């Protein structure tokens, strides 16, 4: 299971109710901050998440509404030293701009009390936990090296206790071996193959996060059957020309991607002040039913049902 907390859901500039883009994805003890618009640290505090273990930052692209908050966040981390190191994963162009911001403005020749690790990523797996991975993939927006992210739990075959009972397998190390896919030799000499007590393979939870994006070509397979797709929705179809010009989605196009890819739930973010939330929702819902327009501090659990 993954949990996602939206810290900022506005496009380009903040509004009275929406801060600039930022969200936290959590899985067990792991936490990833995706994008860090201006004012994100106050959103972190207000959400109750806190700064602890919030030391892995994933950046979708180099635009200011997605990175300016890193300066303030680093400044706070330097004062409080609440983390051991800071890791920033982003495309090359975004890392260059972030380096200018952090080294040219915040640090200016001084050294941070913790290591700051700039991790250039392009496409492919860039982080692996015990039972999940995080993958980057390229998306087309204004400027080079824009990325989306896939959070994927490993699939597994569930242990079926009723089968184990029927086979007379005692609890203890034998069951653990079988759960981990190894054959077990019972005290009575009987040998049990894992296939005898494991159910059908079940894919793990899949959460796809796409930041600013102008084209959905090539994204359908990436989003295929995702449990949740999070994607920007800056415009409505009445301004489809403008959306194309600035390489952003309309609500209808984001919903069409969700429908084509067969995702289970769609969450829209990066909402412009020019529209009312219910207009965005209505346009998307006409194309794809299970859709939510995220608000600041909304939290969603993402599970594979
Ligand atoms: Zn943006
Ligand atoms: Zn952008």
Ligand 2 mean position, distance from CA 2 (Å): 25
Instruction: List the one residue out of 260, 259, 149 whose CA is nearest residue 206.
Output: 149
Q: What is the pLDDT of residue 112?
A: 93
- Amino acid 149: pLDDT: 98
Residues 217-237 have a mean pLDDT of 97
The Cα 285–Cα 38 span in angstroms is 30
124-128: strand order across its sheet: 124-128, 132-138, 147-153, 206-210, 228-232, 265-269, 291-293
**pLDDT at 82 (0 to 100):** 75
Identify the pLDDT of residue 222: 98
pLDDT of residue 274: 93
Ligand 1 centre to CA of 58 (Å) is 14
Strand bridging mode 124-128 / 132-138: antiparallel
The DSSP H or E segment spanning 26 is strand 22-27
| Lowest pLDDT segment from 13-27, 184-198, 273-287 | 184-198
- Report how far ligand 1's centroid is from the alpha carbon of 106 (Å): 22
Residue 181's pLDDT is 84
Mean residue pLDDT of the chain comes to: 95
Q: At what angle do helices 40-47 and 69-80 cross, to 10 degrees?
A: 60
pLDDT value at 160 more than 80: yes
What's the confidence (pLDDT) of residue 81?
Answer: 66
pLDDT at 220: 98
Starting from the CA of residue 20, give the closest ligand. 1
The ligand that comes nearest to the alpha carbon of residue 233 is 1
Residue from 28, 35, 65, 212 carrying the catalytic annotation? 65
Is pLDDT above 70 for 228? yes
The backbone torsions φ and ψ at residue 284, rounded to the nearest 5 degrees and listed phi first, read -70, -40
Q: Which residue has the tokens 């994933």?
A: 58
Ligand 1 centroid, distance to 47 Cα (angstroms): 21
* pLDDT on residue 180: 84
> What is the reported pLDDT for 305?
81
| pLDDT at residue 133 greater than cutoff 80 | yes
Tell me, yes or no, if 193 is annotated catalytic.
no
The average pLDDT across 203-231 equals 97
What are 232-288's pLDDT values in tens digits?
999 999 999 999 999 999 999 999 999 999 999 999 999 999 999 999 999 999 999
**148 CA to centre of ligand 1 in angstroms:** 13
Say which residue the tokens 């030293």 belong to: 81
Q: How far is CA 35 from CA 24, 70, 168, 282, in A?
A: 9, 9, 52, 27
The pair of three-digit structure tokens given for residue 13, joined into one six-digit string: 């500039």
Give the pTM: 0.92
pLDDT greater than 70 at residue 211? yes
Q: Which of 55-59, 131-135, 190-194 has the lowest mean pLDDT?
A: 190-194
């Amino acid at each position: 299971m993954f949990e996602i907390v939206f810290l900022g859901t506005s496009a380009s500039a903040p509004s009275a109710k929406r801060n600039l883009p930022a969200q936290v994805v959590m899985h067990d003890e792991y936490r990833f901050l995706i994008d860090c618009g201006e004012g994100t640290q106050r959103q972190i505090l207000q959400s109750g998440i806190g700064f602890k273990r919030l030391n892995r930052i994933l950046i979708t692209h180099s635009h200011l509404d997605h990175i300016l908050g890193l300066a303030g966040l680093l400044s706070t981390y330097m004062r409080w030293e609440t983390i051991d190191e800071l890791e920033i994963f982003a495309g090359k162009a975004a890392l260059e701009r972030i380096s200018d911001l952090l080294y040219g403005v915040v640090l200016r020749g001084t050294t941070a009390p913790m290591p700051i690790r700039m991790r250039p990523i392009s496409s492919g797996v860039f982080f692996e936990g015990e039972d999940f991975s995080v993958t980057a993939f390229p998306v087309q927006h204004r400027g080079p090296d824009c990325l989306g992210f896939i959070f994927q739990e490993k699939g597994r075959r569930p242990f079926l206790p009723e089968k184990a009972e029927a086979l007379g397998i005692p609890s203890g190390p034998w069951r653990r071996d079988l759960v981990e896919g190894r054959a077990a030799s019972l005290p009575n000499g009987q040998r049990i193959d894992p296939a005898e007590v494991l159910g059908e393979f079940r894919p793990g939870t899949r959460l796809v996060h796409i930041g600013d994006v102008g084209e959905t070509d090539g994204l359908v397979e990436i989003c295929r059957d995702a449990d949740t797709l999070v994607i920007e929705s800056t415009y409505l179809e009445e301004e489809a020309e403008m959306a194309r010009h600035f390489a952003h989605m309309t609500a209808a196009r984001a919903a069409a991607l969700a429908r084509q890819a067969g995702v289970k739930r769609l969450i829209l973010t990066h909402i412009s002040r020019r529209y009312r939330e219910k207009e965005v929702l209505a346009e998307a819902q006409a194309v794809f039913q299970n859709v939510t327009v995220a608000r600041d501090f909304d939290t969603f659990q993402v599970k594979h049902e």
